[in-house]
Amino acid sequence: MHSAPAQQWHTQSPSISRCGFRPVLLQGGPRGCRGLVPQVSVQRLSSCKASTGDPRVKDGVHKAGYILRVHSPTELETYTKQPPTSSKLSILMAKSSHCRPCMKFAATYNLLAERFSDAIVMEVMGDENPTTRKWMMDMKIKVTPSFFLYRDGKLLTTLTGTTRSALRDAILEQLGPSEKGRDWVEPPVSVGSDSDSDSDDE
């Protein structure tokens, strides 16, 4: 469970210092980070893109079994509203660079991308730049991580927090009969990893 102080200044982040961000005021909350869009201005060098820092997170081109980092609503809609990918199940994780539950959930999200390899698994870093921050406000995101499932240009369901079985079951509910993932055997999560306190997980 995430038990960060109600308010805390975060200034130490390689991707933020490298890209010219100013400090962001975040609020901690159980099993998620509250206050993704605080009333604090953030400035970023327009020519700089934050590094994903994860070899399974890709920029620009979707690859089956990997996570695609998107940076704008337009980029998201390229996959959710335009053929041939719009007919696929798309999953978007909205996160922030200082959200500890998001960081812990990264390995689980990688596993889900591998398991549901017919789906387009994406993420957006909400505090990456002014565009993503406005996008988060437009989507009324108050807790990270938040998850959005799309198909055929329509938003199917949303959920928040890091309960792995809840996200897995939501994906299974929307998965097509011929799409990969239903028969995939999930490897055990080792003690101390991002098991997300989900005692009923398989």
Mean pLDDT of successive 10-residue segments in the chain (202 residues)?
36 32 37 46 34 56 86 94 93 95 94 93 95 95 96 96 93 93 68 46 40
d(CA 25, CA 38): 6
**CB under 8 Å to 140, separation ≥6 — which residues?**
none
Task: Check residue 110 and give its pLDDT.
Answer: 93
pLDDT at 182: 84
Check residue 168 and give its pLDDT. Answer: 93
Length of the chain (residues): 202
Question: What pLDDT, on a 0 to 100 scale, did the predictor assign at position 1?
Answer: 40
pLDDT of residue 62: 75
pLDDT of residue 194: 47
Using DSSP bridges, classify how beta strands 120-125 and 90-95 pair: parallel, antiparallel or unpaired.
parallel
The pLDDT of residue 198 is 46
- For the chain, first and last CA: distance in Å? 20
